[in-house]
Structure 1
């Protein structure tokens, strides 16, 4: 049986505000819990004016308090911007307050240059990503025996459980890092779908080394999905998504997620249409039945039973409808 998760960006719909977007994220998480989704993750985006999700740890605290059973996580924390020690303490605090419900998804940073400069302004040097991952493992394991530049240091509070550790990635490099450190691996199909997806996942499984956190290789595949009651409505929503992706890839993005009506009125130039067609390879589009078949095919190819849906479509009601339609199609064990 396939388990479904949600990764939400907190999109700011046209005519609405960031505060409204965060309220809608909360309502979406509560709905996901009622419907039987396994995890609800939130993203870290900076200098993207059409989404409100910039600090996942803060939003996670609110979402965990607003729900009861669903796992709450980051998809992900961009580790190169931060101290591994501070990240460990943030997530230990979350795990202490909501034991057995917290996921720490870690990623690299691909932010705008000005964002990188602002978040790293006082740093004289950057640690290698691999070292930061090693540091995280030390802090979550309370390892004060093995040699380390901060050998005696522990992340507080010291607790009996740990958040689930997931490494986000799109290629063999990240797959190998996750495998070497005994972490779960979340493959971003939505960012880089390719014929090598299965090979990347196989590398992770083949090279996996058990850790005290993860004993067997765990794989999540994350996909953009546009789902509606009819294929025609799904296509309308997909066109608004097409336009949003074009905005994100351009230098002049509006501070909102475009509506279906805006996308219809605007249309696309020939050069934009080429980008749209390329971006369409990153999406699953259609009715719940059609998208279910696509999800099942991906899950079978990658030998995984866990798929993360990114319902990044225009309109809070449409996002909630997508969750209901998928939950029904997959017979999720909702209330």
Structure 2
């Protein structure tokens, strides 16, 4: 059976505050748990003032405490900015308090130059991304036998269980790293919906090498979805999302998700309409039955074990309604 998950950015709606956005994320996670979703992940975004999700580990602790059974994860921690040892300690703390419920999704998204500078200005020699991943696995397995530059080092607290380790990516290189290191792989369809993704996942499954943390390949595909009671209502909501995507690519994006009313009043220029057309390839828009059918097609095409929905749309009520409609359509 196809598992359904949610990745939430903690959108700050027009006229709302970051605190309200984070409380809405909490309510969404609680509702997702009640509806039967498998995982609820939160993101790491820097210098994006329209979303409140900047430190997934801290938000995860709050969400895990606010729920009981749903898996809580990061989608993802941008590992090149951080010490794998500290990341391991953060996630072991989460796992110690909420065993068998924590996911560590990691990525290496290229942030704004000023963000990269601020997060890395005190660093000396950089360690490769793959080495960082291998470091994490050492710390999560308490491995002191394999040769390592910090061979005697153990990440605390020591736990009987470990977080699930997922690698996030948009192509072949990330898929190869995930396969070589025995990790689950999450493909960002919402960023790059191409045939190359299918090829990357096929290669991942063929090349997968079991690790101490995972014995067989596991694939997740993440999609932007806009769902409403009717296709017409979904299209109205999608126009506001279209505008947000244009905003975040602009030089001076506003610090909020534009409302449906704002998008309707503003409209789009000819050049913007072309960008909107391209961005629409990254999302599924429609009523629940249509979106369900499209999700099932994507799952079949990518041979996905799980699908992660990103309900990154304007209006907390709209986000809540979306996950309820999809849960009903999939009989969660």
Correspondences of 1:46-85 after superposition (within 5 Å): 46-85=46-85
Name the counterpart of 2:154. Answer: 154
Shift of 1:301: 1.0
Name the counterpart of 1:96. Answer: 96
* Contact 2:228/2:322 (8 A) holds in 1: yes
Name the counterpart of 2:168. Answer: 168
* Contact 1:81/1:109 (8 A) holds in 2: no
SS of alignment partner, residue 76 of structure 1:
strand
Shift of 1:161: 0.5
* Contact 1:167/1:183 (8 A) holds in 2: yes
Correspondences of 1:116-135 after superposition (within 5 Å): 116-135=116-135
Name the counterpart of 1:254. Answer: 254
> Aligned partners of 1:153 and 1:275: how far apart in 2?
49
Name the counterpart of 2:240. Answer: 240
- Residues 261-296 of structure 1, C-alpha deviation per residue, up to 9 Å, x if partnerless? 000011111111111000000001100000000000
> Aligned partners of 2:228 and 2:54: how far apart in 1?
28
Single out whichever of 181-190 and 302-311 deviates more from structure 2: 302-311
- Residues 17-39 of structure 1, C-alpha deviation per residue, up to 9 Å, x if partnerless? 00000000000000000000000
Name the counterpart of 1:292. Answer: 292
Segments of structure 2 that go 5 or more residues without pairing to the other structure are none
> Aligned partners of 2:74 and 2:130: how far apart in 1?
19
* Contact 2:172/2:197 (8 A) holds in 1: no
Single out whichever of 121-130 and 251-260 deviates more from structure 2: 121-130
> Aligned partners of 2:88 and 2:239: how far apart in 1?
40
Shift of 1:212: 1.3
* Contact 2:172/2:196 (8 A) holds in 1: no
Shift of 1:109: 2.8
Shift of 1:125: 2.5
SS of alignment partner, residue 25 of structure 1:
helix
The root-mean-square deviation of aligned C-alpha atoms, in Å, is 0.6
> Aligned partners of 2:303 and 2:11: how far apart in 1?
31
SS of alignment partner, residue 285 of structure 2:
strand
Correspondences of 1:1-335 after superposition (within 5 Å): 1-332=1-332
TM-score for the superposition, normalised by structure 2 = 0.99
Shift of 1:229: 0.2
SS of alignment partner, residue 195 of structure 2:
coil
> Aligned partners of 2:271 and 2:202: how far apart in 1?
36
Shift of 1:224: 0.2
* Contact 1:189/1:282 (8 A) holds in 2: yes
* Contact 2:218/2:305 (8 A) holds in 1: no
> Aligned partners of 1:145 and 1:293: how far apart in 2?
49
